[in-house]
Every structure is written in C-alpha cells, then in structure tokens.
Amino acid sequence: MPLRIPNQLPAIDILKRENIFVMDDLRAHAQDIRPLRIAILNLMPLKITTETDLIRLLSNTPLQLDISFMKLKSHTPKNTPIEHMMMFYRDFESMRDQRFDGMIITGAPVEQLSYEQVSYWPEVSEIIMWARTHVTSTLYLCWAAQAGLYLHYGIRKYPLKEKMFGVFPQRKNVPQLPIFRGFDDVFYMPHSRHSEVRREDILAHPELTIISESEASGVGMVMARGGREFYITGHPEYAPDTLDKEYRRDRDIRDDVRIPVNYYPNDDPSLTPQVQWRAHANLLYSNWINYYVYQETPYNIDEIE
C-alpha cells in the first residue's frame, strides 16, 4: 500500500526488510488522489513496536492511506524516547478540529485499574466521544474496546481469575458481514488481558452485535452503528514474537506465569512460536479499510457526521 507516513519513522526500514511495500511521504505526495486519513491513538507502552505492527497490516491494500499518530497531553510514555514522540506524534488538541476516515485506538497496560483510576481517562474519554462525530469507522483494540463499550453503553469489565493469555479460536456469528470476507469458518486471535466483558451484558443492548466469540476466550468482536465502531477484545495486530516477549518478561519477574495457550509447539517455550492468526489479521484490516472506511466515507471529508 502507498502509505503516507513520516519519512524517518523506524517502521519504514523494518517493513522494507520484510519486503513489504511502504511509500514514504515524499513519494505519496506526488500521487494525485485523496488518501484515506487514518488516525492512530497508540496507548501501548512500546510505541515503535505497535506502530510497526499496525502499519504492517494497513499496508495490505492498494488504497493510499495518510497515517497520523495521536498522543495524549495528559500522559508521558516511559518506554519510548521523548524525541520519537515529538517527531512523529501530535497532541489530540492539535487534531480535534480535523476529521478522519478511520481511526484505531490501541490497548493499554491499565486494565487492572478501574477506568476512573487511570490518570489519562478524562482525555481518552473525550477522544472516544470525539471519534463518533469526526471519524467514519473506528477500531477499538483490547483495553480500548472495553473502555469504548463502557463509555458508550455502560458495559462494565470483570477481572479474570487468570490472565487470558495465548492464541484462541474464534467463530463468526454473522459470517456474511463484509468484515469477514475471505475468512475461514474458524480463525485465531491472540489475547493478553486480565479482564473481560461479558456476553449477557452486551446482548442487553440491541444496538450491539457480537460478531465473533470463542468458548475459550469469550467475546471476540462486537460491532455497533453498522460498522462505524468495532470493538475487538484481542490483539490481531500482534507480531509472531509478541506473546513470547511478554511471557519471558513476566517469567523473569514472577514464578506463577503460565505458558501462552496454543502458541508454542508442544507448549515448549524453547521452540519457535506457531503463527496461526497472521492471514486473518491481514484480511480483517484490509476488509475494514475497504468496506467500512473507503466505501462509506464521503469524498469531502468535512461531511463526516
């Protein structure tokens, strides 16, 4: 995909080494088309890793995208150089008067706190509400999915006795939806979370549709407003080694860390993880861009309501 992203973003070199086509800002500006404007609110602690994961998936479509990274004024990341944030991210305040064809709001390592205990909750709440009137379609991932469901519909989250950690099979409840175009009957999704939203709470809201779920990991994807909002409780964007890094990080800190489910061959962490979700993750993002962003957004972006 021709992506309009800042010329020196680290993801460019990483993805070029993977033989993934990425068009930088200078070349993209030479094409006489209106790119789809995509905002990414990156709340994950390892910003550069998440940037690369998302751009890798967004690159799987011929449509030109103009990517803008959003940051919070009320929170300073601890694991990303401040120079990187200043060079590639913009505060919400500087973007609030703009409109975007699509938006992605990532997970955050705060799910064991109540929403009101999160220091940046007021600003995130404002952004979630803003997206309804300034974005054609929004993807909410992991904690952001829980936060969006809570803010818009009052759906609470529940702590889990054990971390939902691994790669879990999902079934499609509404297989005819365009978001599932090309999907197999069963697809897999990584999860890494300490809390959940419950099926019965969502079913109490007729305006919400559970479009995928799992006997093992529960609610997988929820759709609202005809596809203007997707709430995804897992991490389809994860790279092959992300769960491995999380497992080894936590194992070095605690002695009660479980091996991620359905991830290592024979549950042996010395073996290379088995990737079962990459093809469907690419389909998910390309279908979202095509059917719920490109085909739904107005040509005049200021007409988004």
**CA 171 – CA 252 distance, rounded (Å):** 34
Structure tokens at 77: 């990341």
**What DSSP state is assigned to residue 261?**
B
User: Model-level pTM?
Assistant: 0.91
Rg from Cα positions in the chain: 18
Q: Compute the average pLDDT of residues 49-77.
A: 89
Nearest to 89 by CA among 104, 107, 67: 67
- Per-residue confidence band for 20, with pLDDT thresholds at 50, 70 and 90: low
Residue position matching structure tokens 């993750």: 281
How confident is the model over 109-157, as pLDDT tens digits?
998 999 999 999 999 999 999 999 999 999 999 999 999 999 999 999 9
Which long-range contacts does 113-118 make (Cβ < 8 Å, 24+ apart)?
A: 115/147, 115/150, 115/151
The pLDDT of residue 16 is 66
- Per-residue confidence band for 30, with pLDDT thresholds at 50, 70 and 90: very low
In sequence order, the 6+-apart residues with CB closer than 8 A to the CB of 40 are: 51, 54, 67, 68, 69, 70, 103, 104, 105, 106
Annotated catalytic residues are 142, 235, 237
In sequence order, the 6+-apart residues with CB closer than 8 A to the CB of 39 are: 68, 69, 70, 95, 100, 102, 103, 104, 135
Structure tokens at 83: 């120079």
In sequence order, the 6+-apart residues with CB closer than 8 A to the CB of 30 are: none
